[in-house]
Structure 1
Amino acid sequence: MPDWDGRGLPPVARARVDRFAASGLKTSLLTVPGAVGAEVAGFTAVGEVMGCVVQRVGWTGPGTWAADQVKLLSSMLRQGYATALDRIAQEATALGADGVLGIRFTVTPLDEVMREFVALGTAVRAESEQRPRRPFTTGLAGQDVGKLMQAGWVPVSVAIGVAGRAAYDYNMPNQTVAWAGNTEVDAPTKVVTEVRAAARAEFARAIRDCGADGGIVSAMTLQSWPVQEVAVAGIATVTGTAIARFHTGRAAPTSALKILPLNRS
């Protein structure tokens, strides 16, 4: 894409927005319960939206220290998620949407140094006169957003925490041999404990930075690997939705229809 400077919507995304505008079609990735839940919450699907970017990992050759390697990898993950999320929000804005529901991330290795980050979701428009300055983003399904709003909370933004750690322990080979028995391996324990805590802390900072009051964790992933038999490295990721309170009390005022169970005799 030589005519694109990397800012704003990519040309292919702009073309997709133009097709939506010309056709008048409203597509959705929501399930039937998700679509009904979104309608109960006061949202109408506008169209499916996508944010995509290919990130390259910095140099991680054989001589790179494990700590430097995980620092590069975690930075690449952080940038990839942020860029994909920003582009899906831009596409939602171009469609005239107020938010994006049900966002799902996929990370696909293209080779040893490149990974593709894709964020997919459904752009929705609120049935109200007030418009937010920037679309909200959430990984929650429509029915969950409906329940959240009835309880007095609104989604603000997808929040992501990424952290990487590495630890060296020259006693690790003695703890991992077959005859060592059932024993705790110190270095991996240290890494997975610290990296999970650091990812949760970054997730909390992301919530505070967007001005939200709390967060809902939707997923936590952990990847670890040995380094030259005397070290271990790990990367943890926490994803979820930052939420803000707009009403206190037992139930928020709403004109949503009651959904009756269909299993009545």
Structure 2
Amino acid sequence: MDIDLTGKRVLVTGGNSGLGAAIAKAFSAEGACVAINYLVNPEETDTLVKQFVTAGGKALGLMADISDAEAIEAMFEEIDEAWGGIDILVNNAGIDGHAALGWEAEPDAWGKVIDINLKGAFLCARAALKRMVPQKSGVVLNTSSVHEVIAWTGYSAYTASKAGVSMMSKSLAQEAAPHGVRVLCIAPGAIRTPINKAVWSDPETYKDLLTKIPLGRIGEAEDIARMAVVLASDVAGYITGTTVFVDGGMTDYPSFAHGG
């Protein structure tokens, strides 16, 4: 089976580090033109853009706060000017927020997580769909999490945002399907990235983490990136309105493996 994304115009939000960078690299390797959205660390973006261009690809670095509607529209207009539109949006940007029990959480901090993870994903999806629906093609791939279905003490904003992204995606998929546009989620489990190094670099916390993963290993960024490419390609052309979990079985409730 040959996945060919040659010439496809892709935007990856939060695409200059961690999962986003791995996803951007995977799309570029398949021949796509990749726009990398970022808010901080422009040097990392420049490095990726140069890497893709040196390899013969096309790439853009686009700074924008995805929770700002005007900034989002300006970013999409830059893509329009450079490439004439967009074929694939990967809504990857997001934050965990600070851990706090619900009755101790600061409303502004709670709301910031929602603004970035849910509102930001919607604003980008909205801008992409405005372009994809008229052209009768396109894919919006939203990054959810196993925490769209698994509770997480101290992170009610994060879990609420990811559950919201899931249901938002289903509704947008229902609206866009008659126009030949797919909308779906990819939901990572525990993945080895710099943002969660404190967990996987400590032997005790890592040991505990593995008890939550039936496959017995932590995921790598490439596990998510490869699946993102597949889901955005014609190979997955009959998949929309659902979440694909890439979690080593974490959502299979491994604590019940030995009985209830």
TM-score, normalised via structure 1 length = 0.24
TM-score, normalised via structure 2 length = 0.24
Q: Which has the higher strand share?
A: 1
